[in-house]
Amino acid sequence: MARIRLVHWHPGEGKERAADLRSLGHEVDASPVTSGTIRDLPRSRADAFVVDLTRLPSQGRDVGVSLRRSKTSRHV
């Protein structure tokens, strides 16, 4: 199945969301998000990015916009 990079701001909830995606057969990277990992997200080998907006929706929106603007992740 697909390689998914899950972006979530609360580690406990992120693990639950990752488990849900894994139960559907996806390979999920739900490692904690830091300023360094956000900068490296476009170079990730993910087939899809899932940005959870339940907490800090404006930051999630900004991450989505930066992924869309990046040449390396625009196709994802």
pLDDT digits (tens, 9 = 90+) for 48-67: 999 999 888 998 899 888 88
Query: If pLDDT is split at 50, 70 and 90, which confidence band does 11 have?
Result: confident
Distance (Å, whole) CA 68 – CA 29: 19
Annotated domain spans of the chain: 3-52
Torsion sign over Cα 59, 52, 9, 22: negative
| Helix (H), strand (E) at residue 20 | helix 11-23
Tell me the whole-structure pTM to 2 decimals. 0.83
Tell me the average pLDDT across 24-34.
Answer: 92
